Structure formats: C-alpha cells, structure tokens
C-alpha cells in the first residue's frame, strides 16, 4: 500500500473480499501453472530428445503423483473459469454491476468440477493406480 500503512488481517476483508480473493488466486494459480509448464517442457525435452533418464524422469514422476495433480488441476480449472468470468465482464462492462454474483457463480461451477476431479485422483492414488 502506497501510504505505508499495513492493513493486516483486516485487508483480507477488503470490499467483502470475494472478488479480491479471486484476483489473488488468479495470480497464484497463473504463476503456478507457468512454473509447471516450463518445467514440463524441459522434462519432455529431456525424455524425448536427450534419450530419457536424468531429471526428466524425476520431474515426470513428481508430475504424475496425485498430490501434485490435485494442485495443478486446481490451478487449471480455477484459472480457466475465473479467466472466463474476467473476459465476459470486460467484454460487456454493463455486467460489472453483477460481478459479485458472477464470482459466486464461478465457485458454483468450480466446486462440482474440481470435487469430481479430486475424487477420481484420490481414488486412483489410494488404490495405487
């Protein structure tokens, strides 16, 4: 904050928070996916063009583990849905007066899709698949 004050935990309730939390999560999930994709491209290059083994294998076994997949699916699904909300509201600015409802709608779509994903991932993870 440019005036040097630290809002502390109260800052987390800024304007009843909902859309600000989406904004923060959008950044965190975006950077998370960028790190994943960059590492994944390099791991794929190692496996496909350098003859396998080495760090490519280490990265890939990490990427295929279910805790990591739960994280990356959270990033992808949230970032995609929230991004779609941002595109729609930016294209039709009149809808901005409903942005609180739009944010809730995003979560309403996100929860069943991600819940199902998580269920499948954990079931597979626990059965060793």
Partner 1 sequence: MLRSRTVPRRGWNLEFVMWVFTRVSGAAMLILGALGMIGALIMGARTQMDLATLMRWTFFPNPNHVVNSNIPDINLGWVSLYWRILQTLIVFFGVSHGFNGLRVVMDDYIHHDAVRKVLRVVILVLWIAVMAVALYIIITS
Residues binding partner 1 (CB under 8 A) = 1-2, 27, 30-31, 33-34, 37-38, 41-42, 44-45, 48-49, 76, 80, 83-84, 86-87, 90-91, 120, 124
Q: Where are the alpha helices (DSSP H) in the chain?
A: 18-49, 54-63, 66-91, 99-126
Q: CB 111 → partner 1: shortest distance, Å?
A: 19
Which residues lie below 8 Å from residue 34, measured CB to CB, with a gap of 6+?
A: none
Smaller CB separation from partner 1, 109 or 120:
120
Smaller CB separation from partner 1, 48 or 97:
48
Cβ atoms of residues 69 and 77 within 8 Å: no
Q: CB 38 → partner 1: shortest distance, Å?
A: 5
């Amino acid at each position: 904050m440019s005036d040097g004050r630290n809002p502390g935990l109260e800052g987390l309730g800024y304007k009843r928070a909902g859309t600000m939390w989406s904004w923060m999560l959008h950044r965190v999930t975006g950077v998370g996916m960028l790190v994943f994709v960059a590492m994944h491209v390099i791991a794929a290059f190692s496996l496909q063009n350098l003859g396998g083994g080495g760090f490519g294998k280490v990265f890939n076994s990490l990427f295929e583990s279910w805790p990591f997949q739960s994280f990356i699916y959270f990033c992808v699904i949230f970032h995609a849905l929230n991004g779609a909300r941002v595109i729609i509201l930016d294209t039709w600015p009149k809808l901005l007066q409903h942005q609180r409802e739009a944010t809730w709608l995003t979560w309403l779509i996100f929860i069943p899709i991600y819940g199902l994903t998580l269920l499948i991932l954990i079931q597979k993870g626990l059965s060793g698949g």
